[in-house]
């Protein structure tokens, strides 16, 4: 049985990296754009939109990621997130961006004599809240959960939106914010904001590159001192200086680290294994409940990592606990063939051949209905597993 168990693990690992090779190129995978005529700005603004690969407007609602500096950053962010969606690392989200017209005007809250046109961020904030967000939520199936990502002056605006209208976004990814602009306007705003703010459930991630020249690093460190001294304990915030990056390289490393902090799945497998070994079925149920209740949409259990936990527990003889893990995963991924395959294996390992047959057949059905390539979910192994269960049932 041990040989079979480790063979199964290697098989899952090999096919994990290929799990979407058979997906068709759905229209929702493509970037679309449209114009909004902004009354606040008195101009047209171009909006980019990319729906998640399995967008279902009838049965699901999605968080939305709002990307500033859309002509530079949108496709990069959307492609990164689509990769994470495809591998069930992050939940599926709608991604939208806005093309710039005048960054100085739109992103900086207070005039700066060294930068022309600065100081109209409040007008742009009206556009974001009343026109961009409103149009996205009117046109698409959204959950009302909003994430904004901004870099450089875009990071300045994202923080300004937090300090000016903290209910507008749920999460803020701030990369290389020019906190020194306009005589340290963000420091003034942060100090005033935290003076009256007593409670907040927002998520804030800030990062600057260690090689970001000039005043960017020290001004961010000054901003962080205000967060440390005055922000409420309920505010979840992070700051880091990313190594071997400058103002531009920090965007990719900081973005990844920020999203990984927002969707904190690292260590889940070890946590769940410990809870299962310590408290059995009740420990598994409690672990899932706590994660779901505390993280909400930020909780995305990995089908692969936690599926391996189920196999490990089953191998150790904790059959009821392993099946409980599988049942929890099925509630999150009802149409995931890999979960069905894990379930079939767990039931087979525990001699529950009828249930194993049902899961093998369910996995085969998913492969056929989703028109996956036979290699995507090793269809041959599934068919052989179903045959093997039939033989057990007939003996």
Phi/psi at 114 (nearest 5 deg)?
Answer: -90, -10
Distance CA 237, CA 233 (A): 10
Tell me, what's the pLDDT at 10? 42
Q: Does domain 31-262 have CATH number 3.40.50.1820?
A: yes
User: Is residue 18's pLDDT more than 70?
Assistant: no
Q: What is the dihedral of CA 368, 372, 377, 379, to 10 degrees?
A: 50
More confident residue, 12 or 285: 285
List the chain domain ranges: 31-262, 268-394
Buried b / exposed e over 301-340, threshold 16 CB at 10 Å, is bbbbbbbbbbbbbbbeebbebbbbbbebbbebbeebbbbb
Tell me, what's the pLDDT at 44? 97
More confident residue, 372 or 172: 172
Tell me, what's the pLDDT at 382? 93
CB 52 within 8 A of CB 85: yes
More confident residue, 27 or 77: 77
C-alpha distances (whole Å) from 377 to each of 26, 36, 355 are 20, 43, 19
Q: Is the dihedral of CA 243, 245, 247, 249 positive or negative?
A: negative
State the CATH class of domain 268-394. Answer: mainly alpha
CB 132 within 8 A of CB 118: no
* pLDDT band at residue 371 under the 50/70/90 scheme: confident
C-alpha distances (whole Å) from 222 to each of 11, 16, 52, 173, 207 are 50, 44, 38, 18, 13
- Rounded to two decimals, what is the model's pTM? 0.89
Q: What angle, rounded to 10 degrees, do the helices at 268-295 and 303-315 form?
A: 130
250-298 pLDDT, tens digit per residue, is: 999 999 999 999 999 999 999 999 999 999 999 999 999 999 999 999 9
User: Is residue 74's pLDDT more than 60?
Assistant: yes
Q: How would DSSP label each residue in 54-78? A: T--TTT--EEEEEESSHHHHHHHHH
* pLDDT band at residue 26 under the 50/70/90 scheme: very low
34-62 pLDDT, tens digit per residue, is: 999 999 999 999 999 999 988 999 999 99
Mean pLDDT along residues 366-390: 88
User: Is residue 120's pLDDT more than 90?
Assistant: yes
Partners of 287 in the beta sheet? none
CB 300 within 8 A of CB 85: no
Tell me whether domains 31-262 and 268-394 share a fold: no
Q: Select, from the ranges 77-86, 124-133, 194-203, the one with the highest average predicted confidence (pLDDT).
A: 124-133
* pLDDT band at residue 28 under the 50/70/90 scheme: low
Burial environment of residue 229 by CB neighbours within 10 A (0 to 12, 13 to 18, 19 or more): exposed
Q: Which two tokens stand for residue 26?
A: 């759905």
Tell me, what's the pLDDT at 325? 97
Phi/psi at 132 (nearest 5 deg)?
Answer: -70, -60
User: Is residue 13's pLDDT more than 60?
Assistant: no
Tell me, what's the pLDDT at 24? 31
Tell me, what's the pLDDT at 6? 44
* pLDDT band at residue 81 under the 50/70/90 scheme: very high
């Amino acid at each position: 049985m041990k040989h079979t168990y480790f063979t199964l693990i290697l098989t899952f690992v090999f096919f994990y990296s290929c799990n979407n090779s058979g997906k068709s190129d759905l229209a929702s995978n493509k970037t679309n754009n449209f114009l909004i005529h902004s009354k606040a700005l008195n101009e047209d603004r171009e909006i980019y939109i990319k729906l998640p690969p399995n967008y279902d407007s009838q049965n699901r609602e999605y968080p939305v990621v709002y990307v500033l500096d859309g002509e530079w950053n949108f496709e990069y962010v959307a492609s990164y997130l689509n990769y994470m969606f495809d591998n069930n690392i992050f939940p599926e989200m709608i991604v939208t961006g806005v093309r710039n017209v005048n960054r100085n005007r739109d992103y900086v809250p207070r005039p700066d004599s060294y930068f022309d046109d600065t100081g109209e961020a409040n007008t742009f904030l009206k556009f974001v809240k009343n026109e961009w967000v409103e149009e996205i939520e009117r046109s698409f199936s959204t959950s009302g959960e909003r994430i904004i990502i901004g870099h450089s002056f875009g990071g300045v605006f994202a923080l300004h939106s937090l300090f000016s209208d903290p209910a507008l976004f749920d999460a803020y990814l701030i990369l290389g914010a020019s906190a020194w602009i306009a005589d340290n306007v963000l420091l003034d705003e942060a100090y005033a904001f935290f003076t009256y703010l007593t409670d907040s459930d927002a998520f804030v991630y800030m990062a600057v590159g260690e090689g970001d020249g000039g005043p960017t690093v020290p001004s961010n460190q000054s901003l962080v001192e205000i967060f440390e001294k005055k922000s409420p304990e309920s505010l979840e915030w992070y700051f880091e200086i990313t190594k071997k990056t400058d103002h531009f390289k920090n965007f990719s490393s900081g973005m990844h680290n920020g999203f990984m902090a927002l969707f904190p799945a690292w260590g889940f497998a070890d946590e769940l294994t410990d809870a299962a070994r310590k408290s059995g079925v009740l420990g598994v149920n409690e672990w899932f409940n706590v994660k779901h209740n505390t993280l909400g949409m930020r909780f995305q259990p990995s089908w692969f990592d936690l599926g391996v936990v189920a196999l490990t527990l089953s191998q150790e003889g904790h059959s009821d606990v392993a099946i409980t893990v599988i049942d929890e995963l099925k509630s999150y991924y009802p149409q995931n063939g890999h979960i069905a395959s894990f379930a079939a294996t767990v039931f087979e390992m525990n001699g529950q051949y009828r249930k194993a047959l049902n899961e093998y057949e369910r996995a085969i059905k998913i492969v056929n209905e989703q028109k996956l390539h036979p290699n995507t979910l090793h269809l041959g192994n599934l068919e052989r597993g179903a045959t093997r269960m039939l033989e057990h049932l007939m003996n």
